[in-house]
Structure 1
Amino acid sequence: MLVDSHCHLDFPDFAEELDAVVDRARQAGIGRMVTICTHLSRFERVAAVAERFDDVYCSLGVHPHQAAEEDALLTVERLVELSAHPKVVGLGETGLDYFYDKSPRDVQQDCFRRHIRAALETGLPLIIHTRDADDDTMRIVREEAAGRPVTGLLHCFSSGRQLAEEALDFGFHLSLSGIVTFKKSDDLRAIVKDVPLDRILVETDAPYLAPVPHRGRRNEPAFTALTAACVAEVKGVDPTELARRTTDNFFRLFTRADRAARGDARAAA
């Protein structure tokens, strides 16, 4: 079994064939999917997708692109309250994006801090988006944690070695997307080669970032298998072993996810 730890099944891209998309994922061996919240104002829509399928979970949070737009809605108290939903397994995606700067950086940082405070209160892992903001990302995490335990991952990891090492030293996981399959991702693959197997997850970020050979098309959870195959090759392990290890990592990090639900043949055996 594989897990797509990050996709966006509530997006309009999947509206007309959501059942078929989830079915194709199951046929490809994807036993769990996490559909990610980007707008607190749209959480009910995200949660409805997770409620519809036994093997789909969801997150709760505000993407840094929407930080200014959703700033007034986003409070620690609201995050804690909504996180009681039984299908919520993580907080985010949250973080910093200085590449597009769609929200002012100070607003992004403040929203990020609120997610971290909610994670400290709930014990849920953080799902972190970071782009061109490596130093501030880990600085803010360390400041807010102040020595207290915070779990989480850097989603769609494509940054440099320094951030990878800092995140791993802090105890975070790295989640790898279709970017690792791209022809020009040699530097990323070199980093992945050195990341311990027990700290790796895989994802699609669907509908974005379809892996080779589907690059340029709409991505979907079934394609997690292609990313996983590439990671297995980079790590020099059998794809079955890579699937087992990344799935174990997922359930160890996302402790609210039910391993015995549909899709895990080992749990049923």
Structure 2
Amino acid sequence: MKIFDLHCHVDLFPSMQQAAKESGNMDIQIFSVTTTPKAYEKEISLLRDYETIKLALGLHPQLVKERSCELDLVKKYLPDAKYIGEIGLDFNRQFYESKDKQLHVFDTIIRECAYHKGKIISIHSVKSAKQVLDILEKYKCCQTCKCILHWYSGEIKQLKRAIEMGCFFSINLKMLESDNGKMIIERIPIERILVESDAPFIHDANNMMSLKELMSDTIEKLLMQRADFSLEQLYENNIQLFND
């Protein structure tokens, strides 16, 4: 079975290139997010020959306090980058002091994505779903790009709004193991459901074998929770995302 992982930090594995090679051998398609544009800059040449790795240009909101100066580097690479992530907002207490910087960085990146069009974007939205959706709506980004809310944990009101806007949602095992996550998953239309690992941060998956096991477990539990969902639907959702 072909596996699609829509949010994975391959660059944080013990051997990024070994993981990339193994992903091809195991037919695991990976949306490989980065946390800084400097990391993306280094990885372009290292990962360009691995067809199963979709390398994304990112600037993680948790790093914006120290890395907002790298926004110009994001703007440099963004026109040619098909995949964008991890970007977004994180208003948890330990990151709230950088709120204004985060808003500026995310607003700028989404504006550029909407202008250049055709991007596939993985978005972090911890305690900030309304503000994330406000910015996506401001630039009509869901009309020009495909926006994926990674590990969504926000209010149902904003979930409904995101669905109306056309967002996809990448679901991981942590969501399937929490009451709030299960409640959210029940409300996502089947044609918007994707799966992710967020490895190596979940269950210590740090190579392709452990990643495949994690993803298989995630898919199995998702199918158990959503009786109206299927492997065929999951495959179609990924094909729609990448091939439209």
Which TM bucket (shorter chain)? 0.7 to 0.9
RMSD across aligned positions (CA): 2.7
- Greater CA drift, 102-111 or 55-64: 102-111
Tell me if structure 2 keeps the 8 A contact 1:6–1:203.
yes
Q: CA deviation at 1:95?
A: 0.9
Q: Which residue pairs with 2:199 in the alignment?
A: 206
- Greater CA drift, 197-206 or 132-141: 132-141
Q: Which residue pairs with 1:225 in the alignment?
A: 216
From the superposition, tell whether residues 69 and 82 of structure 1 become closer, same or farther in structure 2 (CA, over 3 Å): same
Unaligned residue ranges in structure 2 (runs of 5+): none
Which of 102, 112, 134 is matched with 1:118 structurally?
112
Which of 247, 255, 263 is matched with 2:235 structurally?
247
Unaligned residue ranges in structure 1 (runs of 5+): 211-216, 257-269
**Does the alignment pair 1:23 with 2:22?**
yes
Q: CA deviation at 1:26?
A: 5.2
Tell me if structure 2 keeps the 8 A contact 1:37–1:43.
yes
**Does the alignment pair 1:51 with 2:24?**
no
State the secondary structure of the residue aligned to 1:94: strand
Q: Which residue pairs with 1:70 in the alignment?
A: 67
Counterpart amino acid of residue 44 in structure 1: E
Counterpart amino acid of residue 8 in structure 1: H
Q: CA deviation at 1:164?
A: 1.7
Q: Which residue pairs with 1:234 in the alignment?
A: 225
Cα distance in 1 for residues equivalent to 2:165 and 2:19:
39
Q: CA deviation at 1:89?
A: 3.2
Q: CA deviation at 1:118?
A: 1.7
Cα distance in 2 for residues equivalent to 1:198 and 1:168:
11
**Does the alignment pair 1:132 with 2:132?**
no
Larger relative contact order (C-alpha < 8 A, sep ≥ 6)? 1
Q: CA deviation at 1:116?
A: 0.5
From the superposition, tell whether residues 248 and 122 of structure 1 become closer, same or farther in structure 2 (CA, over 3 Å): farther
Tell me if structure 2 keeps the 8 A contact 1:180–1:227.
no
Q: CA deviation at 1:40?
A: 0.9
State the secondary structure of the residue aligned to 2:82: strand
Q: CA deviation at 1:18?
A: 5.1
Cα distance in 2 for residues equivalent to 1:224 and 1:146:
29
From the superposition, tell whether residues 117 and 98 of structure 1 become closer, same or farther in structure 2 (CA, over 3 Å): same
Cα distance in 1 for residues equivalent to 2:134 and 2:112:
17
Q: Which residue pairs with 1:141 in the alignment?
A: 136
Cα distance in 1 for residues equivalent to 2:83 and 2:239:
12
- Greater CA drift, 229-238 or 59-68: 229-238
Counterpart amino acid of residue 221 in structure 1: L
Tell me if structure 2 keeps the 8 A contact 1:63–1:93.
yes
From the superposition, tell whether residues 255 and 37 of structure 1 become closer, same or farther in structure 2 (CA, over 3 Å): farther
State the secondary structure of the residue aligned to 1:59: strand
| TM-score normalized by the length of structure 2 | 0.84
**Does the alignment pair 1:162 with 2:127?**
no
**Does the alignment pair 1:172 with 2:201?**
no
Q: Which residue pairs with 1:39 in the alignment?
A: 36
Counterpart amino acid of residue 225 in structure 1: S
Cα distance in 2 for residues equivalent to 1:53 and 1:137:
32
Counterpart amino acid of residue 69 in structure 1: E
1:12-66 per-residue CA deviation (whole Å, 9 max, x = no partner) reads x422x75268637854xx5301110110111123334532422111111201012
State the secondary structure of the residue aligned to 1:165: helix
Counterpart amino acid of residue 127 in structure 1: S
Q: Which residue pairs with 1:213 in the alignment?
A: none
State the secondary structure of the residue aligned to 1:190: helix
From the superposition, tell whether residues 203 and 156 of structure 1 become closer, same or farther in structure 2 (CA, over 3 Å): same
In terms of fraction of residues, the more helix-rich structure is: 2
Cα distance in 2 for residues equivalent to 1:20 and 1:91:
20
Q: Which residue pairs with 1:267 in the alignment?
A: none
**Does the alignment pair 1:188 with 2:173?**
no
Q: Which residue pairs with 1:105 in the alignment?
A: 99
User: How many residues align structurally?
Assistant: 237
% identical equivalent positions: 22
Cα distance in 1 for residues equivalent to 2:55 and 2:43:
7
State the secondary structure of the residue aligned to 1:92: strand
